[in-house]
Amino acid sequence: MKPFTYAKANDRADATSQAADDATFIAGGTNLLDLTKLEVMAPDRLVDINRLDLAEISETDEGGLRIGALVSNSDCAAHVRVRQVYPVLSRAILAGASGQLRNKATTGGNLCQRTRCYYFYDTAMPCNKREPGSGCQALQGFNRIHAILGASEACIATYPGDMAVAMTALDAAVEIESAAGEVRLIPVRDFHRLPGDHPEKDNILEAGDLITAVILPPPVTGRQIYRKVRDRASYAFALCSMAAVVEMDGDRIASAALAFGGLAHKPWRDEAVEALLVGEKPSAALFGRAADQLLAEARGYGSNDFKIALTRRVLIAVLTEATQEGAAA
Amino acid sequence: METTELTVNGKRHELEADSRVTLLDALRNHLGLTGTKKGCDHGQCGACTVIVEGRRINSCLTLACMHDGDEITTIEGLGEPGNLSDLQAAFVAHDGFQCGYCTPGQICSATAMIEEAKAGWPSFVSDDLAGPDALSDEEISERMSGNLCRCAAYPNIVNAIRQVAGGKS
Ligand SMILES: Cc1cc2nc3c(=O)[nH]c(=O)nc-3n(C[C@H](O)[C@H](O)[C@H](O)COP(=O)(O)OP(=O)(O)OC[C@H]3O[C@@H](n4cnc5c(N)ncnc54)[C@H](O)[C@@H]3O)c2cc1C
Ligand code: SF4
Ligand code: FES
Ligand code: FES
């Protein structure tokens, strides 16, 4: 580990002004320290934000929830109202990492977690995300865990997290405070970027920006499902995951919000797929067309070709379950 | 150098250490508490699990200086020869280990896990998010998935935990 200075932030303004001046936030530390030990990241200055007053979950005036950036993944998943009306979020969080990690991992840090691409982690290898311009070793290398949607020639990495996939399906928004003290709300679905020519930038945060909360809109009725497929039954990242919030009106689909993890540089949402489902009666043929639409532009890079067929099956299985009569929420 | 006050197993320590020192290295190398083990040093094995402010965490992925004023319990604080904790005794009774390297982490993890379950926390395998009534073997395995055992003593680890948690197999 390269040496760094360490300071505790006293308040938000202190935190953002230090970050605007090149310091790096540390929250749970479970991703940052992992990468700092390997010198994949080499911060000169750490600002510990754990003493900021951002660890509360509260109800919003609109009837949704405001989840503070420092709320641990464990507390969010176990929160009574989250369990009752946003079960897809509880389930997505519980599908990730381990009990120990979820106790430390924070809402803000989880959103910002970096890819698990093997070459990103290996400083002996070229990687455009770690070292812009050096090349992408995954294109020709092992790419079992890599993207099939929205990738670029510069980078085919995935965003590895689970929580943000559920938040994307729930139309949640990230609350961000800048060093100038301005607060803005960005939909979670627009928070992460596609790699394009700048894979070194994972998300839309600018220097100094502090995530202060995630806002969940008022709950919708209907069925919520989180399905995760991985190489072992627990404590592993998703090869493909899917969050679904589906409402029925009689025997027809009234609305469908679908988000996918493990497929792209961001949680993937495709409105054309949702539009195709709304107003229709569930059927194998309909779900097949939805999968065709979702995967029309999908591309494998060798070891991850299987993800295309896998995603089709996950989509069909989840939609079948979500539209079945009488199944539990 | 950072000065950090840690209360470990009820005893106060003032630690003077580089900001890079993890809680794990502080416990082992600075305070001489070598019961907590280093496996992967990257959050992937659970050998370093300790209980901080009542919650189990991986001590390898947190800095000692982030824990100024915190109360920490390690395997040494749970019990000692002649005065074992219920889980320590159950691991012995059920042969819940072979080499023993993962065991301190398993026992710290299970100690806090049982409290999480008592507080009604659900897990990924809970049918109902209201939380399970009793810890089935499937629940125990899922909740303990952050602790790997290279000797694969898993069946006996689950037996030991079930005995203390009062679950059904
Ligand atoms: C072995 C292992 C398995 C895992 N498995 C999974 C899994 O299956 N699914 C999953 O989703 N995750 C998984 N994780 C990742 C884990 O969820 C993340 O490490 C964790 O959520 C990061 O949160 P943190 O608070 O520890 O972040 P930190 O490590 O503290 O920070 C991460 C990044 O976010 C920035 N940051 C933190 N807070 C803020 C803020 N408020 N505003 C702006 N920037 C901020 C930091 O500067 C840093 O760059 C796993 C991790 C490990 C080690
Ligand atoms: S896929 Fe992205 S993160 Fe992985 S080696 Fe290529 S550029 Fe780096
Ligand atoms: S040593 Fe901490 S998890 Fe392996
Ligand atoms: S007893 Fe040997 S690693 Fe678990």
Q: What is the ipTM of this complex?
A: 0.98
Residue with tokens 């539209």, as numbered in its chain:
A323
Q: Which of A116, A118, A120, A144 to mutate to test the pocket of ligand 2 (most atoms within 8 A of CB)?
A: A120
To the nearest whole number, what is the mean pLDDT of chain B?
Answer: 97
User: Do B2-78 and B86-165 share a fold?
Assistant: no
Q: Which of A263, A131, A116, A139 is nearest to A200 (CA)?
A: A131
At A329, is the pLDDT very low, low, confident or very high (cuts 50, 70, 90)? very low
pLDDT given for residue A122 in this prediction: 98
CA distance A42 to A279: 51
Q: What is the pLDDT of residues B60-78, one digit of tens each?
A: 999 999 999 999 999 999 9
* Mean pLDDT in residue range A37-42: 98
> What residues of chain B lie within 8 A of the CB of A3, using their CB?
18-20
Counting atoms of ligand 4 from 1, which one is nearest the CA of B98?
A: 1
Chain B residues 43-82 with CB within 8 Å of chain A: 43, 46, 49, 55-58, 61-63, 65-66
The structural domains of chain B, with segments of one domain joined by +, span 2-78, 86-165
Q: What is the pLDDT of residues B10-34, one digit of tens each?
A: 999 999 999 999 999 999 999 999 9
Sheet containing A252-261: which strands, arranged edge to edge? Answer: A223-229, A240-249, A252-261
Q: Which of A103, A99, A81 is nearest to A27 (CA)?
A: A103
Answer whether A244's CB lies under 8 Å from A319's CB. yes
Residues 6+ apart with CB under 8 A from A326: none
Residues 6+ apart with CB under 8 A from A133: none
Q: Is residue A188 classed as helix, strand or coil in its secondary structure?
A: helix
Is domain A223-322 given the CATH code 3.30.390.50 in the classification?
Answer: yes
Q: Which of A293, A246, A259 is nearest to A273 (CA)?
A: A293
Residue A43 has pLDDT above 80, yes or no: yes
CA distance A159 to A161: 6
* Mean pLDDT in residue range A267-273: 98
Answer whether A173's CB lies under 8 Å from A83's CB. no
Residues 6+ apart with CB under 8 A from A134: A126, A127, A128
* Mean pLDDT in residue range B129-145: 94
At A33, is the pLDDT very low, low, confident or very high (cuts 50, 70, 90)? very high
Q: Which of B25, B36, B41, B150 to mutate to test the pocket of ligand 3 (most atoms within 8 A of CB)?
A: B41
Residue A328 has pLDDT above 50, yes or no: no
Q: What is the CATH number of domain B86-165?
A: 1.10.150.120
Answer whether A230's CB lies under 8 Å from A218's CB. no
Q: What is the CATH number of domain B2-78?
A: 3.10.20.30
Ligand 3 atom 3: residue of nearest CA: B43
Long-range contacts of A248-252 (CB under 8 A, 24+ apart): A248/A222, A248/A223, A248/A323, A251/A281, A251/A282, A252/A279, A252/A280, A252/A281
Q: What is the pLDDT of residues A185-201, one digit of tens each?
A: 999 999 999 999 999 99
> Where would I find the H helices in chain A?
12-20, 32-37, 73-78, 80-85, 87-94, 99-104, 107-112, 118-121, 163-169, 271-277, 284-294, 306-323
This prediction's pTM = 0.98
The structural domains of chain A, with segments of one domain joined by +, span 223-322
